Every structure is written in structure tokens, then in C-alpha cells.
Structure 1
């Protein structure tokens, strides 16, 4: 088992805010790859609509980034991941896409110390987040199903202030 802890939840659940607070407290963290993928493609001249129109390509690109990132991490180091490989399965299911074979293979070997599933906050839209409230809830449900099917403890993080959420997670290590 690794010493990695996943921070996950549906869109607009405060994942990145929480991960950034943990980073500010001295913990090692990762970035959220869907947003990073979008940002890289936008730099290349594509619009978010163009990127999102090719969902299979988008999901594969995000998965590839996640696979590379997790392969490069030290399994003994405590790291908080802003989403992880299993999130991809939830999104493939949400989009009704056949999961990539590399994803299915990776899911057989993923190993996390704990998964922190953040309760949803009110949906806030931005340039990269295109889901509506129904999508937000469906994705959160799918993430819950995926992570509870894995042999990793899942800890639900209630709606609290950002600092209190970070405190809750640190005290649950």
C-alpha cells in the first residue's frame, strides 16, 4: 500500500482548495489533471467547447497524465492527490464511454492509504467546469460507488470551512 491519500468529490466540492491548504501546511500534493489538460489545450488555441466536444480524447488525456503522475510518486511519501486514477472510471461511466483498457488495468493495482470524499458545496461554474447541478450530483454518486468498491478506506468529509476541512483530514490520517 502507498501512503497516498486521495482528495475527491463531485465538481465544486472544494477539492483543489483543500489540497492547496494541505500544501500550504507542508504536505506534498498533486494537481488536478482535468483542469491542467484543459489549460494546456487552451494555450494551444483550442476552446473549452472544442476540448469537451471530444470527450473520449479528453478522458484519455487526463488518464495518461494521472497514470504518469502516480507512477512517478514515491509510495512511501505521504502525498495528497487532487483526484486519482479511479476518478477516471467515474467520469467514463458518467459520459457512458467504454473505459480505456489502461484504466481497467491500473484499477487492479491502485493502492491508496485513504480516500477523502468531500461533501458537495454549491455549484460554482467557471471556464473549465461545464457541469450543472444534476451532473454534479451524478458524478459525486459515481465517485462514491467507484471508491467504495476499492479496498481503500473512504472517509466522508462534511461541509465545513476550508481550514476545518483540512484539519479534519489531517486529524484522520
Structure 2
């Protein structure tokens, strides 16, 4: 088993804030690959709308980045992941896309110490987050279903202040 902890939840649930606070406390963390992929595409001259118009390509790009990162991590190191491979399955389902074979294969081998699913905060739109409240809630439900179907521990993290959420997580390692 790895010593990795997944931080996940629907859009605008405080994942990145939580992961950044964990990093500030000295823990190894990862980045959210969907946002990173969009940023790289924007640097290459594409708009968010252009990237999102090709959802299968977008989802596969995010998955490839996630797979590469997880393959490079030391399984014995304590790492907090800002989303993980199973998140991709939830997004494929949300978009009514047939899951990529690479995703299905990867899901057979995922091995996380614990997944922390953050309860939703009020939706805050930004350049990368295009979902409305209904989509936010549906994605959150799908993420919860995907992770709860895996044979790995899942902990729901209630809405608390950012520092209290971090402490809630650390108390459950």
C-alpha cells in the first residue's frame, strides 16, 4: 500500500486550499492536473473554451498527467494528492464519455492510504471552473460514488475553516 492521501471533492470544495496548507506545513503535495493542463493549453494560445470543446482529448490529457505523476511518486513517501486517478472516472461519467482503456487499467491498480472527500463550499467561478451549482453537486456525487466503490478508506471532511479542515485530516492519518 502507498502512503498517499487523496484530497478530492466537487468543484469549489476547497481542495487546492487544503493541499496548499498541507504543503505549507511541510508535507509533500501534488497539483491539480486539470487546471495545470488548461494553463499549459492557454500558454500554447488556446482558450479554455477551445480546450473544453474537445472533452475527450481534455480528459485524456489530464489522465495522462495524473498517471505520470503517480508513477513517479515514491510509494513510501507521505504525499497528499490534489485529486487522483479515480477522479477521472467521475468526470468521464459526468461527461457521458466511455472511459479510456488506460483509465480502466489504472483503476485496477490504485492504492491510496485514505481518500478525504471535502464537503462542498459555495461555488466560486474562475477561468478554469465553468460548472454551475447543479454540475458542482453532480460531480461531487459521482466522485463520492467512484471512491466509495474502491476497496480503500474514505473519510468525509465537513465544512470547517481551512485550518480546521487540515487539522481534521491530519487527525485521521
Relative to the length of structure 2, the TM-score reads 1.00
C-alpha distance in 2 between matches for 1:117 and 1:51: 27
SS in 1 for 2:126: coil
Structure 2 equivalent of residue 37 of structure 1 = 37
C-alpha distance in 2 between matches for 1:31 and 1:15: 10
C-alpha distance in 2 between matches for 1:133 and 1:73: 34
Structure 1 equivalent of residue 49 of structure 2 = 49
Aligned 1:24-173 pairs, distance under 5 A? 24-173=24-173
C-alpha distance in 1 between matches for 2:164 and 2:26: 16
C-alpha distance in 2 between matches for 1:141 and 1:163: 25
1:42: how far off?
A: 0.1
C-alpha distance in 1 between matches for 2:99 and 2:63: 10
Q: Which runs of 4+ in 1 moved over 6 A?
A: none
Deviations 1:18-54 (A, max 9, x none): 0000000000000000000000000000000000000
SS in 2 for 1:60: helix
Deviations 1:48-76 (A, max 9, x none): 00000000000000000000000000000
C-alpha distance in 1 between matches for 2:95 and 2:89: 10
Deviations 1:108-166 (A, max 9, x none): 00000000000000000000000000000000000000000001100000000000000
Gaps of 5+ in 1: none
C-alpha distance in 2 between matches for 1:11 and 1:48: 16
SS in 2 for 1:7: strand
Q: Provide the aligned length of Structure 1 versus Structure 2.
A: 173
